[in-house]
Copies of this chain bind each other. A is one copy, B any other.
Amino acid sequence: MTRPLISLAALLALAAPSFAQEAAPAPPSPAEIVDQAPEDEWVAIPPEDLLVMTLAPAADGSERKVVIQLMPAPFSQDWVANIRTFARAGWFDDITVNRVQDNYVAQWGDANYDNPESTGEAKALPDGLIATDERNYTAPGEAIGLSTLLADSTRDLALKTGHVLSTSDETAGVIIANGLVDSYAQLSLFDRGWPLASNIGADDESEPAAVWPIHCYGMVGVGRNMSPDAGTGAELYTVIGHAPRHLDRNIALVGRVVEGIEHLSSLPRGKGQLGFYEDEAMRTPILTVRVAADLPASERPSFEYLATDGASFARYAEARANRRDPFFIVPAGGADICNIPVPVRRTGSQ
């Protein structure tokens, strides 16, 4: 948005001391709030929950690695277990990215699987896969203590205002931490580092309280056939456009890309139906997919996320909803949950 280097020049100018600025320092940007978060608000991601996916090198020979964080309990654990099984069996090695649909998803798997036009043979599935069930696209509200998390007053305020994020820092923190009004669900909220939605508080009280992960940019889900098929985890996709939230509760979400999504989001779009490549040569080979815990220490990446129930996250979310850093004129006064990405940082072994 800013002009190329004009903006850098302007920022440099702002960084120089001046009387006006000493009187009123610029409010911190969301990124600055994250940078200032104390160490104890960062939570290590278990290496068992990290997948390292190595694509074939780019045309210029540079390395392309994508790191995916798998979801923790109570979400999608049957699929997550299967994905570890696929990875540990080496089943994902030599699959390909077969579909890239603009403003939607990039999808990878065995191009020969159930493909009548394929010239190759589909891979045999590994032993030990768990049978999946579409009922597990959501988890019970109790599983994350949702009913106690949401004070009635907070929920009422959120529902009443229509926006969730107040311009008052103090109020905003509470509301953000507890729940956001959402176009796709009764409410949305952050819990244990993930963006979630829930039907709690919906008019239809007969429906049991449920909570589910949502399709924000970079989230990873499981391809499936028509219901009741719920997919094994062999076929995965990631969101590379505006959040396709209509897929929530219709597909298992299993994780998110925490590094290297640009290697998927910048791939050429497929020209076939749904963005599949018509030309097989366009498919990007995936060389290996490994669970980080299985890698030698020297190659094992490590990541942390900013605790979503901490003070810094509340400030960060409030600042995302009310940008006051120098470039901005009018703070929005709100944000949708997918425009408040949970900060994740690499801490070791690039």
**A334 CA / B199 CA spacing, docked (Å):** 13
Interface 9-residue window, one of A48-56, A72-80, A112-120: A112-120
Contacts of A265 in B (CB 8 A): 102-103, 265-266, 269
Q: In the assembled complex, which residues on chain B have CB atoms less than 8 Å from the CB atom of A261?
A: 102-103
Q: Mark A101-134, 1 if CB is under 8 A from B, else 0.
A: 0110101010101111110000000000000001
Identical subunits present: 2
**A24 touches B (CB below 8 Å):** no
| CB-based nearest B residue for A103 | B217
Residue of B216, B242, B267 near A266 (CB, 8 A) is B267
**Interface presence of A92 (CB below 8 A):** no
| A50 vs B265: C-alpha distance when bound (angstroms) | 27
Say what secondary structure dominates the interface of chain A.
Answer: loop
- How far is the CB of A156 from the nearest CB of chain B, in Å? 11
Known: A103-B265, A320-B246, A334-B183. A7 touches B327 (CB 8 A): no
In the complex, whether A213 has a CB less than 8 A from a CB of chain B is: no
Check: A274 CB closer than 8 A to any chain B CB: yes
Interface residues, chain A, CB within 8 Å of chain B? 1-10, 59, 98-100, 102-103, 105, 107, 109, 111, 113-118, 134, 159, 162-164, 180-186, 216-218, 221, 223-227, 231, 235, 237, 241-251, 261-262, 265-269, 273-274, 276, 320-321, 323, 326-336, 338-339
Beyond A1-B247, A243-B339, A245-B332, 15 extra complex contacts between A and B, CB < 8 Å: A1-B251, A2-B223, A3-B109, A3-B225, A4-B235, A6-B115, A9-B114, A10-B225, A183-B336, A185-B333, A227-B329, A241-B242, A246-B320, A249-B329, A265-B266
